[in-house]
Chain A
């Protein structure tokens, strides 16, 4: 076979297969998603009573105040930025990322236990001192940053450790909070695969809907 025929066959095959797998297949899936599973296909967006989007059921948000259950530390602050001062363009595309710190990297320990430095710009507050000040018993998930920086979950133990704090600030009955935690816990698949996690955004949305007991 001549070289031109071989090349022509390579090019034609490429184009024909391209139409099949890069046009038809995605198109079928797109239609299927928008028609049969519109909620999932559009990002599992949660809306408030007014119909305004408040977040995604699958994506975490930053929480560090004592009014809310706190989420895990995140290297991108959960893809958030101040819209008035977004030099990095985070809000243009959305981001994800991880620390990529090796277990032997001293920077990992500095980030967890904090580091004092005469230069305040170089000092690190540390996850552990923050949790201790807040009166939360530290768990692994609350001191280690997540893989995606968007982890929607904390472990049930980490949620339990925060019940007293939130209950005191919001003047709520701790039992009521325990119930909300149970309702917003995603269990293992078939009771076997994966680990249970408490969806922090959904839990805190539910928390805002509860009136304090007077």
Chain B
């Protein structure tokens, strides 16, 4: 048997419970689920809870955890709103996911130049003229930002031609 993290989320079709009542019921659900590593969020016409359960596989974990959350939620008076999400993740997999940053690493032209071993000006030329150069993830007033992994991947695939690169001419307006 493995440990699984089971998350169940509900959303109100229409809210008939006050925010204060939802908050108090959420606190009581936190108390009840503490023995199951429970975490609760409640407010704004929605509530959700996460617990940890032991099961043979993710499907049965979702059934066990989902039933546990719904039973305890009913006991504290949380509304039986429609379940909009039910997911089970093996706890070690979730732990590994939590270790990875959610924000991707970004680079500006000077950093991209460092990765590719060229000048920052050459990066701008590549971005303008090489169709395989990655699209900028963000274009700010101060310049473009690229996903670091995309620039590294481009560097691996890039077939460099020796000699001075052809000049990129600006379109005539």
* Chains A and B form a bound pair: no
**B residues with CB within 8 A of A:** none
